[in-house]
């Protein structure tokens, strides 16, 4: 499964310890000021032939007794080089494999040193008066390996491979130009560079027909206050022009430093001349921590142009590979460095860029190389320069190594901080207070002779008892004296701890399996309960529906009876109303009839009376009354 594979890391990260140089006047020869211990390789049980039992990969740091945290931390690296390791050993283990990749496979290579100020970064990269650094040894190996294949670029070839607006120059023209600006005596002479250690045995066999040639271009630049400056283009004015880091037409997605001066060199002597100019031009300064402290991140770039002539049309195909050597400025604490003004501002820029580098390194140990977008390397010029080409998706990733340098007797806080973000893995333990074990109290002198480990989820506790008679005090002195040789007892104890860890691991896995099974069972039960609840609910709903229907029917019937009753009342009321009306009308008619009859009677009487009067010959007035009656 892809996710479970260990992720490839952008860098191999090595740790190199600096030997003590100046014995403090207040420190006696026996007094041990070191807070750092290299853990001897743990023998594998049973002995595994494939495991390199000589390679040291871990260190522990023990805080000074007055430090607020007494946590003992362990850091893992690709390999740890102790104080006794010289330049040749470091070169052989770290740089030789990179050079093989560059010379044989045409890959890009990167070597960088990282560490607190004064921890030995520049010493590793450039050496000192007596010893060569990785740069001189690399140049020596490159020229020895390519010897009679070294060539110069023709004008047209220069145009062909100049993708970054570079100022490509022959070394003679370059030295003439430089010495017209800089006093020649100020530039370190190549013959003052040491010749030791020798690298004759490290020569890389380059295969292919002898017609394949190589041209070598050298450029040196620095990142100072987050700006890139060319160290091979000395200026007559104090104002230097910063260079751009960008992608060009021919470089595609890959970013390159544009406008750089690139000097064509054909042998070690010429290369050392160019290196001398770069070293002279680099920003240095005196600080409280280092009297010749690097105040910038210096990049030395060696471009190998592989020239292959076509037999068909005589044109030259150019394949490029670059080996970049980086001497980073050291992180520093202003209080220790006793800096002010420009130096303080430089220190701020240095620390900031190193903080970003730390973030990128930490993330690159947890991220897959296939997810480069998640590494925040665009935060500073330094991280962009270091990481952009490591993650170049268009090309094979470069072979990259970081050498973290540390002074075991230097600044504890700064060094532990540096180890924290550069280590490939880390763990820590807090010295434990007296513990109650198996019903017995373990305290004081027996704390170290009885070592307890809670094993796995069951909480069972196993005890470690040393085979030999190592006393609590001697165990204590081993733990507090990092430089002391670790006894067989300690090795046994570590092996015992490893066994315990393995057991705990197995128990954790078993417990995880059980939790998974329990989860599955829970899920099953949950499904069953859900089904039962659903069925019961459906039954209840059906019953409720039935009840509701019956109640509605009841209601409807009652309504009907109620309405019928109302209708009856209405009918009755109507009928009663009609009867009363009829009776009233009849009475009225009767009354009217009676009135009419009365009037009739009175009229009849009047007619009788008139008739009688007429018969008796009475007046016309009386006749008129008679007419009215006729009418
Ligand atoms: N492995 C070593 N063997 C011998 N001397 C060493 C070693 N490492 C460092 N030194 C010496 O320690 C001193 C400080 O080392 P160096 O200048 O390389 O530190 P640095 O990490 O580059 O510091 P800065 O970041 O301030 O430039 C120098 O005198 C150097 O020669």
Q: Is 295 in the pocket of ligand 1 (CB under 6 A)?
A: no
Q: Cα dihedral sign for 191, 196, 201, 204?
A: negative
Task: Inform me whether the pLDDT recorded for 457 exceeds 50.
Answer: no
| H/E segment holding residue 595 | helix 488-615
Greater confidence (237 vs 382) lies with 382
Most confident of 40-54, 107-121, 173-187: 107-121
Q: How far apart are CA 367 and CA 3, in angstroms?
A: 11
183, 264 Cβ separation under 8 angstroms = no
- The residue whose CA is least distant from atom 11 of ligand 1 is 120
Quick check: CB of 290 below 6 Å from ligand 1?
yes
For the cut 70, the answer to whether the pLDDT of residue 86 exceeds it is: yes
Is there a binding annotation on residue 44?
A: no
pLDDT in tens, 230-252: 999 887 766 778 888 887 776 66
Per-residue pLDDT averaged across 507-514, rounded? 88
What is the DSSP track for 279-324?
A: HHHS-EE--SS-TTEE-SEEEEEEEEEEEEE-TTT--EEEEEEEEE
- Which tens digits make up the pLDDT trace of 367-377? 555 565 667 77
pLDDT per residue as tens digits for the range 386-413: 887 655 545 566 788 999 999 998 888 8
Distance 402 CA to ligand 1 centre (A): 16
Is 118 assigned to a binding site?
yes
**369 CA distance to ligand 1 middle (Å):** 33
93 CB burial (10 A radius; 0-12, 13-18, 19+) = middle
pLDDT of residue 198: 85
Side-chain-side CA neighbours of 481 within 13 Å: the count stands at 14
Quick one: which of 17, 13, 16, 15 has its CA closest to 483? 17
CA distance 253 to 247: 6
Neighbours of 426 (CB within 10 A): 15
Other beta carbons less than 10 A from residue 386's beta carbon:
28
pLDDT tens-digit readout, 195-218: 888 888 888 888 888 889 999 999
Burial class of residue 283 (count of CB atoms within 10 Å of its CB; 0-12, 13-18, 19+):
middle
Is 276 assigned to a binding site? no
User: Average pLDDT of 78-102?
Assistant: 93
Q: Does ligand 1 have an atom closer than 6 angstroms to the CB of 408?
A: no
Contact yes or no for 408/36 (Cβ under 8 A) = yes
- The response to whether 208 counts as a known ligand-binding position is no
Residues ≥6 apart with Cβ < 8 Å to 373: none
> 150-168 pLDDT, tens per residue?
999 888 888 887 666 888 9
Residue-range domain boundaries for the chain: 9-21+31-429
- Asked which of 394-398, 448-452, 512-516, 561-565 is least confident by mean pLDDT, the reply is 448-452
pLDDT of residue 187: 76
Rounded Cα gap, residues 225 and 222, in angstroms? 10
Q: How many angstroms does the Cα of residue 377 sit away from the middle of ligand 1?
A: 28
Give whichever of 294-308, 332-346, 486-500 has the largest mean pLDDT: 294-308
- Burial (Cβ within 10 Å: 0-12, 13-18, ≥19) of residue 7: middle
Residue 294 has pLDDT above 60, yes or no: yes
Is the CB of 119 within 6 Å of ligand 1?
yes
Mean pLDDT score, 320-349: 69
Domain 9-21+31-429 in CATH 3.40.850.10? The answer is yes
213 has which bridge partners? 307
Separation CA 296–CA 283 (nearest Å): 6
Q: What's the Cα-to-Cα distance from 516 to each of 504, 511, 512, 521, rounded to whole Å? A: 18, 9, 6, 9
Mean pLDDT along residues 414-434: 77
User: What does the block give as tokens for 372?
Assistant: 């480069």
What is the distance between the alpha carbons of residues 43 and 488, in angstroms, rounded to a whole number?
11
Mean predicted confidence (pLDDT) in 479-505: 69
CA of 176 to the centre of ligand 1 (A): 32
Residue 116 DSSP symbol: B
- 115 is an annotated ligand-binding site residue: yes
Closest CA to 222 of 177, 285, 276, 283: 283
Taking the centre of ligand 1 as the mean of its atom positions, its distance from the CA of residue 572, in whole angstroms, is 125
Task: Return the number of other C-beta atoms located less than 10 Å from residue 340's C-beta.
Answer: 10
User: Which pLDDT score, from 0 to 100, does residue 444 have?
Assistant: 33
Which pLDDT score is estimated for 170? Answer: 92
For a mutational test of ligand 1's pocket, the pick from 290, 326, 336, i.e. the residue with the most ligand atoms closer than 8 A to its C-beta, is: 290
Return the structure tokens found at 28: 């006696």
Band (266; pLDDT cuts 50, 70, 90): very high
CB atoms within 10 A of CB 377: 24
Atom of ligand 1 nearest to the CA of 17: 1
Instruction: State which ligand 1 atom lies nearest to the alpha carbon of 16.
Output: 1
What is the ipTM for the molecules in this complex? Answer: 0.97
Using a 6 Å cutoff on CB, does residue 456 contact ligand 1? Answer: no
Radius of gyration of the chain, Cα coordinates, nearest whole angstrom: 53
- Give the pLDDT score at 98: 93
Q: Does 113 contact ligand 1 (Cβ within 6 A)?
A: no
Average pLDDT of the chain is 77
**Which of the four pLDDT bands, split at 50, 70 and 90, describes residue 146?**
very high
At 456 the pLDDT is: 34
pLDDT band for position 27 (cuts 50, 70, 90): very low
């Amino acid at each position: 499964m892809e996710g479970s594979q260990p992720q490839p890391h952008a860098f191999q990260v090595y740790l190199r310890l600096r030997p003590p140089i100046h014995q403090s006047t207040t420190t006696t020869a026996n007094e041990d000021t070191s807070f750092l211990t290299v853990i001897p390789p743990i023998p594998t049980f049973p002995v595994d032939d494939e495991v390199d039992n000589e390679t040291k990969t871990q260190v522990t740091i023990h805080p000074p007794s007055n430090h607020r945290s007494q946590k003992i931390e362990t850091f893992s690296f690709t390999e740890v080089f102790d104080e006794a390791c010289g330049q040749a050993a470091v070169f052989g283990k770290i740089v030789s494999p990179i050079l093989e990749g560059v010379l044989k496979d045409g890959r890009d290579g990167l070597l960088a040193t990282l560490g607190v100020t004064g921890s030995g970064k520049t010493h590793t990269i450039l050496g000192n008066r007596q010893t060569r650094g990785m740069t001189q040894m690399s140049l020596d190996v490159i020229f020895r390996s390519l010897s009679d294949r070294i060539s110069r670029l023709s004008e047209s070839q220069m145009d062909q491979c100049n993708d970054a607006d570079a100022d490509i120059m022959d070394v003679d023209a370059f030295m003439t130009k430089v010495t017209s600006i800089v006093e020649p005596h100020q530039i370190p002479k190549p013959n003052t560079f040491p010749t030791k250690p020798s690298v004759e045995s490290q020569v890389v066999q380059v295969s292919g027909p002898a017609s394949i040639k190589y041209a070598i271009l050298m450029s040196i630049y620095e990142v100072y206050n987050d700006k890139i400056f060319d160290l091979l283009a000395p200026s007559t004015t104090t104002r230097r022009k910063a260079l751009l880091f960008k992608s060009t037409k021919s470089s595609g997605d890959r970013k390159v430093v544009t406008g750089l001066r690139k000097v064509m060199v054909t042998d070690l002597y010429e290369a050392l001349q160019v290196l001398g100019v770069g070293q002279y031009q680099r920003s240095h300064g005196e600080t409280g921590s280092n009297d010749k402290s690097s105040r910038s991140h210096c990049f030395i770039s060696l471009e190998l142009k592989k020239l292959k002539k076509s037999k068909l049309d005589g044109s030259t195909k150019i394949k490029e590979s670059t080996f970049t050597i980086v001497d980073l400025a050291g992180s520093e604490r202003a209080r220790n460095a006793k800096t002010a003004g420009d130096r303080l501002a430089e220190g701020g820029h240095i620390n900031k860029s190193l903080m970003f580098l730390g973030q990128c390194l930490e993330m690159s140990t947890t991220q897959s190389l296939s997810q480069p977008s998640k590494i925040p390397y665009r935060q500073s010029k330094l991280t962009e320069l270091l990481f952009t080409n490591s993650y170049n998706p268009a090309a094979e990733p470069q072979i990259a190594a970081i050498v973290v340098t540390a002074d075991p007797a230097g600044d504890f806080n700064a060094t532990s901080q540096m180890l924290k973000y550069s280590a490939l893995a880390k763990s820590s333990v807090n010295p434990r207070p007296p513990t109650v074990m198996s019903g017995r109290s373990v305290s004081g002198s027996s704390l170290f002779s009885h070592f307890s480990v809670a094993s796995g989820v069951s909480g069972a506790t196993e005890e470690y008892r040393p085979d030999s008679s190592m006393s609590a005090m001697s165990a204590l002195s081993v733990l507090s004296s990092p430089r002391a040789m670790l006894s067989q007892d300690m090795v046994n104890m570590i092996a015992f701890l490893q066994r315990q860890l393995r057991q705990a691991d197995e128990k954790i896995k078993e417990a995880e399996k059980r939790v998974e099974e329990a989860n599955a069972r829970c899920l099953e039960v949950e499904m069953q309960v859900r089904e039962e609840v659903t069925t019961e609910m459906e039954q209840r709903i059906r019953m409720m529906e039935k009840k509701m229907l019956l109640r509605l029917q009841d209601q409807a019937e009652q309504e009907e009876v109620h309405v019928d009753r109302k209708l009856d009342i209405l009918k009755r009321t109507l009928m009663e109303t009609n009867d009363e009306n009829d009776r009233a009308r009849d009475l009225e008619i009767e009354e009217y009839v009676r009135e009419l009859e009365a009037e009739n009677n009175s009229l009849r009487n009047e007619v009788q009376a008139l008739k009688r009067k007429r018969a008796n010959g009475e007046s016309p007035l009386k006749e008129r009354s008679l007419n009215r009656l006729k009418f």
